Amino acid sequence: MSIEDAIDNWSSVKKFTDREIEEEKLEKIFDLTTNAPTAFNLQPYRFIVLDSEEAKEKAVNSAIPINRWIQYADKIVVLVGDEEIDVNADQVLSHKLEEGKIDEEKAENLREMYKRYKNRDDEFIMGWLTRNTMIPATSFMLACKNFGIGSCPVRGFSQPKLSEKLDLKETERPILLIPIGYPREEDRNWRRDGEEIFEIR
């Protein structure tokens, strides 16, 4: 499937078959998702795949009642953001240095900038985290679509409850649930025309 087809035919999937997602497809989806852009390439997130019924139950019990349908997905993916937004900074900067994209002075300036970002208030950090996890989330869902796997972004759940159940680090926050599986039924919704959305000046 082309990227054009994946985007053009994407729809939320809330009803799934019993077919399990093949491990090799999951690995390809993971590989594609790692290419998603983030600010400064810091990638302050990870995906936790809840596969067993016991693991999925943790997400289901954290969801608001209207979202309990996620229990029928083959897997529930939890997208987790880290408030230590520079958690991967050393790796990112070392690669840039090795590739000759920056020098030591530039690297040190970037480290100082990351610290200033990290020391901002909670509202800023959560907004920054949300923006920088939604982009890879979109890449992940389109990659799923590419392999015929359905998905749906779900925000209606208790972050504190899920954080506790998953034993996340103190600085980590569950941002999004993405139940995935082979679709039994696709919910194709109305979309506004491009003419209404885009304006060229």
The first and second tokens of residue 144, run together, are 């799923």
Distances (CA, A) of 2 to 29, 46, 72, 143, 170: 14, 26, 28, 10, 40
The closest of 73, 77, 56 to 16, measured between CA atoms, is 73
Q: pLDDT by residue for the chain (201 residues), tens digit each?
A: 788 888 888 889 999 999 999 999 999 999 999 999 999 899 999 999 999 999 999 999 999 999 999 999 999 999 999 988 888 888 999 999 999 998 999 999 999 988 888 888 889 989 999 999 999 999 999 999 999 999 999 999 999 999 999 999 999 999 999 999 999 977 777 788 888 889 889
Q: Which domains does the chain have, with CATH numbers?
A: 3-84+123-185 (3.40.109.10)
Radius of gyration of the chain measured on its C-alpha atoms = 19
